[in-house]
Amino acid sequence: MLKGPFENDNHGVRETLIFAALVYPVMLRPFLTVLVLLSGPTFAAEEALFQASPLTEKGLFTDGIEGPACDEAGNIYCVKFGGEHTLGKTSPQGKAALFVNLPTGSTANGIRLGPDGFLYVADYTGHNILKVNRQTGETIVWAHEPTLNQPNDLAILDDGSFYASDPNWKAGTGQIWRISREGKFTKVAPDMGTTNGIDVSPDGKTLYVNESVQRKVWAFSIESDGSLNNKRLLREFPDFGFDGMRLDVKGNLYITRHGKGTVVKLSPKGDILREITLPGSNPSNICFGGPDGRTAYVTEMQNGQLVQFRVDQPGLEWQRLQDWRAADQEKKPAQVKTAAAIRDVCAWPNLTTLRDGTVIAVVHNQPGHGTMEGDIDCWASKDGLAWEKRSTITRHVPHTIRMNHAVGLAANGDLIVLCSGWTDVKQPQRPKQAPFRDDILSNWVLRSTDGGRTWTQHENFPAPEDGWTHYIPFGDIWARDGALYTSCYHGQFTDATKSTKTKGYRSWLFRSDDDGASWKAVSVIGARHNETDLFPLGGKSWLAAARVEAMDLYRSDDDGATWQAPLRVTGRNEINGHLTRLKDGRLLLTYGVRVARQYGVRAKFSSDDGTTWSDPIRVAHSHSWDCGYPSSVQLANGDIVTAYYSKDSPLYSGYHMGVAVWKL
């Protein structure tokens, strides 16, 4: 534990305060609700909130107690149980015992529980992040950076990466580091005061850090690459010091006030909501736990003990732990093999099976979400795991990008592709827009007669209606009864003279009666939907999985002339969807999941052509919301191949096409 001088402005007395900050998810001690009978109905007595009391006896920990983190059973892990180089473990009932002795030369401070179930511990004398196995107590150096001052406290993100505060107490300065899942340190904020408590907002977009000596709380915007931007002062205090802090699920900050003996609760805007008085003047860190996540545990140095109080909202880290556990417990395929099949591409893959059994993947070939010049490529595979590039399908005009696509087979087995995109060229009717957002490009129609090795191209697609964008293709193309069918969508401009922003979408059924040479709009599928995957049930019946805030399933029994009111088949932010028929007759719906701490791909099954659906199973995981767009086919051997894209997953850190080859 390092020391730093602080001026107590209330008394004009210079005090030396001991600081170390770090916390992790906490499980809390159960509290009983007292029931009161009131002349008839039974009511629960109002629970006492924000009233602190000791959890452990005084003196079980040294005056350097720090770093609380709580596991799924409600046990709280703290540093310095009866000695300087130890971790202690406290039960929800307050019984504390030695958990592990740390390696020689290591002194622990902040603790976090990772998605893998290991404890991650800031070792401020060894300049390490230690990794502790909770079952065996085995402790290893997971990450080391010799140029660190400490580190002091840690903040963990949904993907298992970290930020670390790193103060220099003697100089009164500090910095912030980012630590990747692979343990690589990158300095992201070099010119700070004495950085201490640190945590991340519920949406993962804001990093908060306090400076102990300077008594300031800062907020940073977290960029997609983990770098920090837009530093802004959230709150400054006139007296006493800061130490560890944690957030609740509403984004409120709980900051320990060393020397004052309180925990202050700030809103995400920096307003003081309340201040909780503790038994002891030197709180050093805080975490949340308990059965409902609403018990705060505070490490208090003056008495060398843990203190607890109830709060009104669960702790964010506790909620993150529940979500991680739920993801681990999701139903999964009986067998699954995964791979980052095509790397450094944003992909948005579409899978199509050729007549010889070869699986074709059409993918966008740039590692960005439509932010740079690029095209779509054709790749081929026999087993869904090993892929070989066959061609680049489009040849974009300079300053444009070709990326949105629909793919399928013509009646004779030729590959048919529709592809649109964006231009980065200023349009005469409006000001310059953001990069590659100046206008949507009209569709190209592309055809391959040799399995995707070579392509012909022509442009013959309907022009947009006034006030609407060009049509954007999505999903599969189907050959039925001498015609080709697919889906496109377009957006209605808010004001086409000012920007390309849209105020609504419509998805359409399109048909070609001349084998793809020309196309016409048949009917509106979804009046406010965009990316829509079309699927033929047989006869004149069709399904269409249409994206809005979730996936809605439309049905037509008159060859697409009209569409019935939709059935919602996924939850909010479970998008986009793809339909295919399995060999056992069931329909398979695969869809992306953009729900925090659940990112990836799930699947559902229907035995009645989409009327009812099974519970979901987990097919793939992603560390980023920037994921999904699955497409699935079934091989002759019964294996299901699901391709999807992710910006960052357990398979690869960077944009890629992931694949899962699985059996039920």
Q: Are residues 404 and 514 in the same domain?
A: yes
> 66 a known binding residue?
yes
> 248 a known binding residue?
no
Question: Is pLDDT of 489 > 60?
Answer: yes
Q: Are residues 318 and 368 in the same domain?
A: no
116 within some domain:
yes
5 within some domain:
no
Q: Are residues 322 and 256 in the same domain?
A: yes
How does residue 224 score in pLDDT terms, banded at 50, 70 and 90? confident
Select from 266, 294, 328 the last residue of a domain. Answer: 328
Question: Is pLDDT of 595 > 60?
Answer: yes
Catalytic annotation present for 153: no
308-311 long-range Cβ contacts below 8 angstroms, 24+ apart? 308/28, 308/29, 308/52, 308/53, 308/54, 308/55, 309/49, 309/50, 309/51, 309/52, 309/53, 309/276, 310/31, 310/47, 310/48, 310/49, 310/50, 310/51, 311/49, 311/50, 311/248, 311/254
> Cβ(648)–Cβ(656) under 8 Å?
no
Residues forming a β-bridge with 627: 646
443 within some domain:
yes
How much is the average pLDDT of 365-381?
Answer: 97
d(CA 67, CA 132): 14
Q: pTM of the entire structure?
A: 0.81
pLDDT digits 0-9 by tens, 414-439: 999 999 999 999 999 999 999 999 99
> Residue 114 sits in a domain of what CATH number?
2.120.10.30
Domain that holds residue 189: 22-32+49-328
pLDDT digits 0-9 by tens, 293-350: 999 999 999 999 999 999 999 999 999 999 988 888 899 999 999 999 999 999 999 9
d(CA 445, CA 393): 11
* Number of structural domains found in the chain: 2
Per-residue pLDDT at 28: 31
pLDDT digits 0-9 by tens, 565-582: 999 999 999 999 999 999
pLDDT digits 0-9 by tens, 178-204: 999 999 999 999 999 999 999 999 999
d(CA 583, CA 548): 30
How much is the average pLDDT of 245-273?
Answer: 98
Classify residue 435 by burial, with Cβ atoms within 10 Å: 0-12, 13-18, 19+: middle
> Cβ(308)–Cβ(29) under 8 Å?
yes
Q: Are residues 259 and 377 in the same domain?
A: no
Per-residue pLDDT at 526: 98
Stronger pLDDT, 34 or 138, i.e. the higher one: 138
Residue linked to tokens 């030695």: 98
Select from 301, 328, 355 the last residue of a domain. Answer: 328
Structure tokens at 65: 């107690």
Residues forming a β-bridge with 63: none
409 within some domain:
yes
d(CA 208, CA 226): 14
Written in H, E and C, the secondary structure of 231-252 is EEEEEECCCCCCCCEEEECCCC
Structure tokens at 580: 């295919």
d(CA 284, CA 553): 53
43 within some domain:
no
Classify residue 352 by burial, with Cβ atoms within 10 Å: 0-12, 13-18, 19+: buried
> 243 a known binding residue?
yes
Question: Is pLDDT of 32 > 80?
Answer: no
Q: Are residues 368 and 258 in the same domain?
A: no
Bridge-based pairing state of the strands 577-581 and 139-144: unpaired
How does residue 289 score in pLDDT terms, banded at 50, 70 and 90? very high
What percent of the chain is predicted at pLDDT more than 70? Answer: 93
Question: Is pLDDT of 156 > 80?
Answer: yes
d(CA 579, CA 589): 5
Question: Is pLDDT of 10 > 80?
Answer: no
d(CA 161, CA 167): 20
Residue linked to tokens 């960077």: 654
> 328 a known binding residue?
no
> Cβ(457)–Cβ(418) under 8 Å?
no
pLDDT digits 0-9 by tens, 612-627: 999 999 999 999 999 9
Bridge-based pairing state of the strands 272-277 and 245-247: unpaired
Q: Are residues 135 and 219 in the same domain?
A: yes
Q: Are residues 319 and 349 in the same domain?
A: no
15 within some domain:
no
Question: Is pLDDT of 17 > 80?
Answer: no
Q: Are residues 460 and 518 in the same domain?
A: yes
Select from 307, 328, 349 the last residue of a domain. Answer: 328
Structure tokens at 555: 């049905």
Question: Is pLDDT of 482 > 70?
Answer: yes
563 within some domain:
yes
pLDDT digits 0-9 by tens, 66-80: 999 999 999 999 999
Name the strand (E) or helix (H) holding 316.
helix 316-329
> Residue 601 sits in a domain of what CATH number?
2.120.10.10
How does residue 41 score in pLDDT terms, banded at 50, 70 and 90? very low
From 604, 599, 603, 579, select the one nearest 645 (Cα to Cα).
599
Structure tokens at 201: 């907002």
Q: Are residues 97 and 213 in the same domain?
A: yes
Q: Are residues 301 and 419 in the same domain?
A: no
Structure tokens at 9: 């402005």
How does residue 45 score in pLDDT terms, banded at 50, 70 and 90? low
Question: Is pLDDT of 391 > 50?
Answer: yes
657 within some domain:
no
What percent of the chain is predicted at pLDDT more than 90? Answer: 91
> Cβ(242)–Cβ(210) under 8 Å?
yes
For residue 530, whether the previous peptide bond is cis, meaning omega lies within 30 degrees of 0, is no
Stronger pLDDT, 4 or 251, i.e. the higher one: 251
List the Cα angle 75/259/51 in 5-degree steps.
50
Q: Are residues 382 and 514 in the same domain?
A: yes
Select which of 158, 199, 243, 552 is catalytic.
243
Q: Are residues 287 and 385 in the same domain?
A: no
